[in-house]
Structure 1
Amino acid sequence: MIDLHTHTIFSDGDLIPAESAQRAAVAGYKAMAFTDHADASNIDLILEHVRRASEQLSVYADIELYCGVELTHIPPGLIGEMTEYARSAGAEIVVVHGETIVEPVPVGTNLAAIEAGVDVLAHPGLITPEEVALAAAKNVALEITTRKGHSLTNGHVASLARDLGAPLVINNDAHTVGDMVSKAMRQNIALGAGMTVSEIRKAEGNSLAIVQRIMKRRLNRLGKASQAVAGSGQKAPDAS
């Protein structure tokens, strides 16, 4: 199992990264991304501290960890700019807090996130067919969520994604103890949204593809760093 949407004490989660990682590993997850709620006020703090924790913990924890952000309640006109900034500042995955029906997310957020080419559009609510078609064209994953409230529109998202070919991923949007649901519960929630077993497997494959994309970006970054160091005559960093 892979989860690409979780929160720690660096936004509104209850757990420090180490405990979140340990609980996820015990629950059977093999990879997880920390994606704390971010805007311009806290994005640097999140990426500095959570990246350091995820890099350190990944060496010892029985789970692969990645550092990202969930851009949250940001005006749509700023989402493209903030996505670029997040990636330049070291975010390995960029999630946008979509237009869930249980929060007053600005109208236009879904479209702006897809146009920006984010990795995952979380709980996109009553997303339109036009937006889903664009997500398919830009390979932006739409989230099927296990989180209470946000999950109310899972069926709508799954149906449009099936019809229009958009990629789906299944995430917990975990904030606290108990949010890392079991494999059986993840499957039951997805089945309840109308997904088939083969579609669930495809969604898990989509999550793996995003992880592979993250690793490619990481290797590219290390390669560029090594080239810069080589040019300066200093010792290259350890890519392990």
Structure 2
Amino acid sequence: MSGMYDLHTHSILSDGEMLPIELVRRMAVTGYTTVAVTDHADPSNAESLLATIALVRESADLFGVRLLCGIEITHVPPQQIASLAKAAKTRGADIVVVHGETPVEPVAEGTNHAACGCKYVDVLAHPGLITLKDAKTAAKNGIALELTARGGHNRTNGHVVQVARQAGCQLVVDSDAHAPHDIMNERAKFIVAKGAGLSDRECREVLSLNIDDFLGL
């Protein structure tokens, strides 16, 4: 499925400001056809998050949005990322995002490496100064690197583009939305991609990514 997508958003189930269905409704009005709700998760809440978000699928369908139930594995020790990602997929997660080594939070060193080496991870969010070696591993495992609109996290978007090009890694553009004002229209998404250093052609390719093919749905 193609069309406007956002693979990284948050609701009141973690630190977002909106009910899941309000988030979906606002995204629908903005033109999105695929939205992943990926609230912050660790071993204490991953299972309940997935079960709760699944209850909103029918409502999202009625608004014309394909809702992807997911989690963002956040500040979990790198040694536990693979087992938590696998458990999430076993419990029906459509998408697993890992909170990467952003320069503005104390993410444990080795998080990017653990995420890129895990076949159950789909997106490495705001990966900071990711190494070429880890990006090549991500490419091998079909894991996308995120270009983010979120303040602070987006400081290294240009670096992520350069490394992704060298590694042949898929890129995605996400909002990391927590509040209504974080939701991007099509022009805003293009500016994030272009501002990170992508050409117009590369911007169009990234923004029109077929999510079914990417996630194997």
> Which band: TM-score by shorter chain?
over 0.9
Larger helix fraction of residues: 1
SS, match of residue 9 in structure 1:
coil
Quote the offset at 1:215 in angstroms.
6.4
The DSSP-based 3-state class of the residue aligned with 1:181 is: coil
C-alpha distance in 2, partners of 1:26/1:60? 13
* Map of 1:160 onto structure 2: 163
Structure 2: segments with no counterpart, 5+ residues: none
User: Could you tell me how far apart the structure 2 residues matched to 1:198 and 1:134 are?
Assistant: 25
Q: Is the 8 A contact 1:144 1:170 kept in 2?
A: yes
Normalised by the length of structure 2, the TM-score is: 0.94
Alignment match, 2:79: 77
Q: Which residue of 1 aligns with 2:110?
A: 108
Quote the offset at 1:95 in angstroms. 0.3
State the distance in 2 between where 1:74 and 1:91 align: 18
Structure number with larger C-alpha Rg: 1
Quote how far apart the aligned CAs of 1:51 are. 1.1
1:90 aligns with 2:92: yes
> How far off its partner does 1:82 sit?
0.4
CA distance in 1 between partners of 2:63 and 2:101 (Å): 34
Mapped contact 1:57–1:65 kept (Cα < 8 A): no
Which SS does the other structure have where 1:30 is aligned? Answer: strand
Paired with 1:86 and 1:41, the residues of 2 have a C-alpha distance of 12
Task: Tell me the alpha carbon deviations over residues 26-52 of structure 1, each in whole angstroms, 9 at most, x when there is no partner.
Answer: 111111000000001111221111111
- Within the alignment, does 1:40 sit opposite 2:37 as a pair? no
Distance 1:205-1:38 versus aligned 2 partners, 3 A rule: same
Distance 2:159 2:39 in 1: 26
Aligned counterparts of 1:4 and 1:80: Cα–Cα separation in 2: 20
Any residues of structure 2 matched to 1:190-229 within 5 Å, and which? 190-206=193-209, 208-209=210-211, 211-212=212-213, 214=215, 216=217
1:58 Cα deviation from its structure 2 partner = 2.9
AA aligned opposite 1:133: K
Aligned to 2:131: 128
**2:97 and 2:123 in contact (8 A); partners too:** yes
Identity fraction in percent: 45
Amino acid paired to 2:20: P
Aligned partners of 1:214 and 1:191: how far apart in 2?
24
1:16 & 1:40 partners in 2: Cα distance? 22
Verify the 8 A CA contact 2:118 2:141 in the aligned structure 1.
Answer: no
One of 28, 32, 40 as aligned partner of 2:31: 28
Amino acid at match of 1:104: P
> Offset at 1:212?
4.0
Q: For residues 109-166 of structure 1, what are the alpha-carbon distances to aligned partners after superposition, in whole Å with 9 as ceiling and x for unaligned?
A: 0010111121000000000011111111111100000111110000000011112211
Unaligned runs of 5+ in 1: 217-240
Q: TM-score, normalised by structure 1?
A: 0.85
